[in-house]
Structure 1
Amino acid sequence: MRLERPAPPGPPQPVADPVRELMAAHRELCERATHPLEIAAALEEAGVAAATAGRYRHADVFALAEELFARVPRRPAEPAVRAPVGGPVPPVPVRRRDRVGRLVGVLGVVLLPLVTVLGPAGGPGAARVPAALAVAAWAAAGPADWSARWVRHAGQVQLRSAATAAEFRARMRPVLPVAVGLQLAALAVTSFAALAVLTALAPRPGPVAGGLLHEVVQRAGPAQWAGQAAVGLLLVGAAVLRRCGGGPAGAAALLGATGLGALLAGLRALGALPAWATGPGALTALAAGSLAAVLLPYGWRVVGEPGAHR
């Protein structure tokens, strides 16, 4: 009886491409991404770390993101929707509604210092300083937008130079604090100028002690200066979010501060607030400061995301 020899083993079968499962799971992100750092940040949030990148035959997450960026074609930009001739007018875009909400929010926040003249805090000439501070805040809205443009430009520069998502975040950490500092400096200049004009046009009775600089600074109390700073923080935070893809959150914070200020003014008129909250500027500091304390940390997180600087 003749025994048949077993057939020699064939060549090893190729292992399935492990990157395909990531391509399927993150296809929409890869199609819309403008830089591999956006994909790397999403992979890190999904739990793909340097230790697990080896399973996909890559040394780190950024190298894996680069392959995904190269293999998945970009999605073409959607053409603008046009109404046919004689047809119905398309609905107002969401962007336009957001713009209206932002403008209303900016106007409300700028006018927050005027709530100090409502109710028991009002009196003869009490609206002069709040009106001057409101004008100064409105003038500082332009520098806030300029600071937001600079933040986005810095993010785009770092997208081209950072090697990993972690390096991008590390480089972007000080950017928002610098923008906030620039905004506060611009607001201090406009506030000082507005109060200087007020002092020249309507000087306080009595001799001037300490010179013009001291007189201008003393026109507003500590609570009014604190409220003015809080308004500046809100303005720059909302402007940065608008430039970096978080416009609805910024507009919501502005509108929330306006609504909270109006609510506090009503409570003060009813005598439902403590005595320390009835002085000039206290309500502005409370309303704008509380919303700024929520908005700025959120904005700092958004600024650190590569996708925010497309």
Structure 2
Amino acid sequence: MADPVRALLLRHRELCERAVDPLDIAAGLEAYGVTDRTAARFRHRDVFSLAEELYARVPRAAEGETRPPTPLPTPPQTSPSGAGWRVWVPLTLLPGAVVAAALAGAAVTDGALRTAVGVAGAAGAAAALAGCLRRGPLRARARRTAPAVRAWPVLLLLAYAAYGDGLLAAILRGGPDEPWPLAPAPLLGLALAVAPAAWCARLFAVRARRRLAAARSLRDVAAAVRPLLALAVVSYAVALTALLAAAGAAVAAVRPAGSDAYGGGSGAFAAFGDVSGFLAAVALGVLLFAARLLTVHGFPEPAAAGLLGACAAEALAPASLLAGRLPGCEVLARPVEAAVVAWGPGAVPALVCGVAALALLARAAAVLARASAHAAP
């Protein structure tokens, strides 16, 4: 009678020979689509049991030699000690510092000098953010990096956060016939939130790896990882909300007297126009965090789809308002007009980014609960 486990071993021999323990084999098999139901066809109760037999069957060291089991490695540069920690922690603080310095410089300058300060600040913030994405917990591991997630969808979403609400308001007033104002508070708050994003991503990666080492089945992995994902997302959302409120209060405190550039709210919300603008910034931050978590753990395609979908939906809002000016096309503008009149211009990005973030989080709850999402590169 044929040995089905031997056939599986031959099919995945490279994976089994490269593995340092049965857990690596279990994660690899899951990545290839092997489930507990599949393992039952090989007369094993689950993938972990099947992986243990495959690990035992693969020839190891020569006779008389011993090879102690290698401990599961922590994902690169996520340890809080050592040189890696001393590099990536300051990096996560740089985007917020650069944006704050640029906004402070713009507040005390005008004309061409203000433009130069703004351009320099944008370039510096982009460089600092790129450094954060190449080192530390927000870095996608080399084996899992894919070209699906580009920088431009993120830049478009940030540009809309800075200018989109003003553009919608200008179109509704019959324009745009003059430059619409910049809303700096969302940019400052999101830049400051890079640091908690890195720490929350590290919390999730390290603890998920530890839970994976103690799991005995794929169901155990999912049951252990999903609460950790929820904890990381909620922790980041709380930190993001606090930083956005602080950024809004700071921007509102230094805005020129009588300025209507940020709407007519009060307190921290004044820098966002109203509560809907504040909620839009929170939704955007959660969307970007969910997309980065998926990318870091080897799923850049759904992250790219979520970001591109949000970009397209936000671009559709001003386009529909402009299209509604054409004869007989007034109906195209009515949904956006109704939303803006009822809840303010921030309602559009709040709804778009909120829906996209929920979709990515639902996808993350499914794919990041897999053992293969946390295997060492």
Report the Cα distance in structure 2 between the residues aligned to 1:104 and 1:168, rounded to whole angstroms: 35
**Residue identity (%):** 33
Look up the match of 1:87. none
Aligned-CA RMSD value: 3.5
Tell me the amino acid that sits aligned with residue 362 of structure 2. P
1:127 counterpart residue number: 181
> Is the alpha carbon distance of 1:118 and 1:166 closer, same or farther for their aligned partners in structure 2, counting shifts above 3 Å?
same
- Superimposed CA distance per residue, residues 123-175 of structure 1 (whole angstroms, 9 cap, x where no aligned partner): 899735x3211321233234323322322222221222222221111100111
**Letter matched to residue 183 of structure 1:** Y
Question: 1: CA distance between counterparts of 2:257 and 2:228?
Answer: 41
| Rounded Cα–Cα distance in structure 2 between residues aligned with 1:260 and 1:59 | 46
Q: Could you tell me how far apart the structure 2 residues matched to 1:143 and 1:73 are? A: 45
User: Judging changes above 3 Å, is the alpha-carbon distance between structure 1 residues 290 and 229 closer, same or farther for their aligned structure 2 residues?
Assistant: same
Distance change in 2, residues 1:35/1:254 (3 Å): same
Point out where structure 2 has 5 or more consecutive residues left out of the alignment: 61-141, 260-265, 325-331
Instruction: State the shift of 1:280 in Å.
Output: 1.9
Question: Distance between the aligned counterparts of 1:294 and 1:47, measured in 2?
Answer: 27
Higher mean alpha-carbon deviation, 29-38 vs 287-296, is at 29-38
Amino acid at match of 2:5: V
Matched, 1:282 2:334: no
Aligned residue pairs total: 266
Paired with 1:235 and 1:201, the residues of 2 have a C-alpha distance of 28
Partner of 1:22: 8
Which residue pairs with 2:38 in the alignment?
48
TM-score, normalised with respect to structure 1: 0.72
Q: Distance in 1 between matches of 2:7 and 2:372?
A: 22
Correspondence list, 1:58-73, <5 A: 58=44, 60-72=46-58
Counterpart residue type for residue 116 of structure 1: D
Does the CA contact (< 8 Å) of 1:145 and 1:239 recur in 2?
Answer: no
For structure 1, the 5+ residue unaligned runs are 1-14, 75-92, 207-213
Q: What's the counterpart of residue 110 of structure 1?
A: 158
Equivalent in 222, 236, 242 of residue 275 of structure 2:
222
Instruction: Determine the C-alpha separation between the residues in 1 that align with 2:226 and 2:213.
Output: 17
Determine the structure 1 residue equivalent to 2:356.
291
Q: C-alpha separation between the residues in 2 aligned to 1:38 and 1:150?
A: 20
CA contact (8 A) 1:242 1:250 kept: yes
The yes-or-no answer on 1:38 pairing with 2:53 is no
Aligned to 2:328: none
Normalised to the residue count of structure 2, the TM-score between the two structures is 0.60
SS of match in other structure, 2:37: coil
Give 3-state SS (helix, strand or coil) of 1:174's partner.
Answer: helix
Aligned twin of 1:9 = none
The one-letter amino acid paired with 2:164 is V
Q: 1:192 aligns with which of 223, 241, 245?
A: 245
Q: What amino acid is the match of 1:98?
A: P
Distance in 1 separating the partners of 2:308 and 2:248 = 27
1:300 to 352, 365, 369: 365
Higher Cα radius of gyration: 1
In 1, the alpha carbon distance for the partners of 2:374 and 2:144 equals 18
Structure 1 stretch displaced more, 134-143 or 300-309: 134-143
State whether residues 40 and 164 of structure 1, in contact with CA within 8 Å, keep that contact through their aligned partners in structure 2. no
By relative contact order (CA 8 Å, sep 6+), the higher-ranking structure is: 1
Aligned partners of 2:232 and 2:358: how far apart in 1? 16
